């Protein structure tokens, strides 16, 4: 689930007086971190972790989708419960899951949050809780520090290839064909451009690529930005991502202190010209990247998301 459970819990644990555990049933090839895995504990111990909590966040895991714990609603009737949707789960099974949750916990027995603003079209009564990222830790682990940058310049090592990247995952939904066409043209006309495809990687491998990326292409059909676009912004890459008007409106309403940092374009020719301009001028690309970095700090940093989460929970009183 985009590492949402772990990063939220990790952020909460950095706040005074809070303790949170991300309890994961299954892992996959992306290998996001988690605080603990169910397979390392007895089923009764895992259930007790859930029952002992004041607040339970279910990442769309309501029967029959929840694996292994066989939670009893009676043991959870005094808890605050949230369903956290992340995309395909809501689009495919959302209403069925919400119906099941209503049967389990009663009408009004839970709060719905979504990880991207476009999902509010499906569940208008939900609240947007952006997926958290430990920005400080990621920068420290994956970026070259300032002193080392200065050393590189002393050896003329600051002249390097321009890295452009795209994570296709779902080529048709993201509209990857257009990006492939533009990137191919860029490479043919500029030998200093290197293309990195981010696909079938672990999270660690993705971050190592994005930390060296100058221009990142997110999507132009979905209408909302993805987590790879946020992670590219953390490392100050310029990010192309076409957003729908309602998504831009929600972003401006929920986070008025920062402007939309994602580069928009009118048509294919406009995308081509802006891509050429940014790949020929790394300093200009970095200016757009700095806007993305400021946005990521305000909207997606783990502490900011954890505090937003606590406000949502407090509003359930």
Is the predicted pLDDT of residue 142 greater than 70, yes or no? yes
Q: Where are the alpha helices (DSSP H) in the chain?
A: 4-12, 43-51, 88-105, 135-142, 146-154, 171-174, 176-189, 203-210, 227-234, 245-254, 268-280, 282-299, 302-314
Cα distance between residue 210 and residue 192, in whole Å: 18
The string of pLDDT tens digits covering residues 59-71 is 987 777 666 688 8
- Predicted confidence (pLDDT) per residue in 81-134, tens digit: 999 999 888 988 898 999 999 999 999 999 999 999 999 999 999 999 999 999
Under a CB-based contact definition with an 8 Å cutoff, are residues 161 and 193 in contact?
yes
Buried b (16+ CB within 10 A) or exposed e, 228-242: bbbbbbbbbbbbbbb
Position 65 scores a pLDDT of 66
Closest CA to 89 of 100, 77, 74, 73: 100
Of the candidates 300, 303, 232, the residue with the CA atom closest to the CA atom of residue 262: 232
Percent of the chain residues past pLDDT 70, beyond the cut: 98
DSSP, res 73: G
Distance, CA of 272 to CA of 183 (rounded, Å): 9
Q: How confident is the model at residue 5 (pLDDT cuts 50, 70, 90)?
A: very high
CATH architecture of 135-299: 3-Layer(aba) Sandwich (3.40)
Stretch 136-152: mean pLDDT: 88
> Where do you find CATH 3.40.50.2000 in the chain?
135-299
Task: Give the length of the chain.
Answer: 317
Inter-CA distances, 63 with 3, 21, 93, 117, 143, Å: 21, 21, 12, 26, 42
Whole-number mean pLDDT of the chain? 93
Residue-wise pLDDT for 211-235, tens only, equals 999 999 999 999 999 999 999 999 9
Query: In the chain, what is the straight-line distance between the N-terminal and C-terminal CA atoms, in Å?
Result: 27
């Amino acid at each position: 689930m985009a590492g949402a459970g772990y990063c939220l819990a990790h952020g909460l644990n950095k706040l005074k007086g809070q303790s949170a555990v991300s309890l994961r049933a299954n892992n996959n090839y992306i290998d996001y971190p988690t605080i603990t895995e169910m397979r390392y504990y007895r089923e009764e111990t895992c259930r007790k972790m859930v029952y002992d909590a004041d607040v339970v966040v279910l990442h769309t895991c309501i029967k029959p989708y929840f694996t292994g714990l066989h939670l009893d609603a009676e043991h959870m009737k005094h808890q605050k419960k949230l369903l956290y949707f992340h995309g395909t789960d809501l689009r495919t099974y959302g209403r069925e899951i919400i119906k099941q949750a209503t049967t389990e916990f009663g009408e009004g027995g839970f709060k719905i949050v979504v990880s991207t603003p476009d999902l509010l079209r499906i569940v208008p009564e939900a609240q947007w809780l952006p997926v958290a990222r430990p920005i400080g830790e990621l920068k420290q682990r994956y970026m070259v520090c300032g002193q080392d940058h200065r050393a590189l310049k002393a050896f003329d090592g600051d002249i390097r290839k321009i890295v452009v990247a795209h994570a296709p995952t779902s080529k048709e939904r993201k509209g990857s064909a257009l990006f492939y066409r533009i990137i191919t043209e860029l490479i043919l006309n500029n030998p200093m451009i290197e293309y990195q495809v981010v696909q079938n990687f672990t999270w660690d491998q993705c971050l190592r690529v994005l930390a060296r990326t100058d221009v990142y292409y997110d999507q132009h059909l979905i209408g909302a930005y993805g987590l790879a676009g946020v992670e590219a912004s953390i490392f100050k890459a310029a990010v192309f991502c076409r957003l729908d008007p309602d998504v831009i409106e929600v972003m401006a309403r929920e986070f008025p202190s920062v402007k939309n940092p994602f580069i928009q374009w009118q048509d294919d020719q406009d995308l081509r010209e802006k891509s050429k301009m940014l790949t020929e001028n790394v300093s200009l690309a970095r200016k757009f990247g700095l806007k993305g970095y400021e946005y990521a700090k305000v909207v997606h940093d783990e502490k900011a998301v954890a505090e937003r989460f606590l406000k949502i929970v407090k509003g359930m009183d």
